Amino acid sequence: MATNGDGIAATPALDGAAVRELRQRLQEDRGKRASELAALEKVVEGTAPEQVEPADYSRMDNLRQSLTEIDGALRRLEEGTYGVCEGCGQAIPAGRLEILPHVRCCVRCQGRIDGGGR
Residue 97 binds to Zn ion (criterion: CB under 5 A):
no
Q: How far is the CB of 110 from Zn ion (least distance, A)?
A: 8
Name the minimum Å distance from CB 33 to Zn ion. 26
100 near Zn ion, judged by CB under 5 A: no
Among 85, 97, 101, 104, binds Zn ion (CB under 5 A): 85
The three-state (H, E, C) secondary structure of the chain, written as one string: CCCCCCCCCCCCCCCHHHHHHHHHHHHHHHHHHHHHHHHHHHHHHCCCHHHCCHHHHHHHHHHHHHHHHHHHHHHHHHHCCCCECCCCCCECCHHHHHHCCCCCCCHHHHHHHHCCCC
Q: Is 109 in the site for Zn ion (CB under 5 A)?
A: yes
Q: How many residues bind Zn ion (CB under 5 A)?
A: 5
Contact between 87 and Zn ion by CB under 5 A: the answer reads yes
Which stretches of the chain bind Zn ion, using CB under 5 A? Answer: 85, 87-88, 106, 109
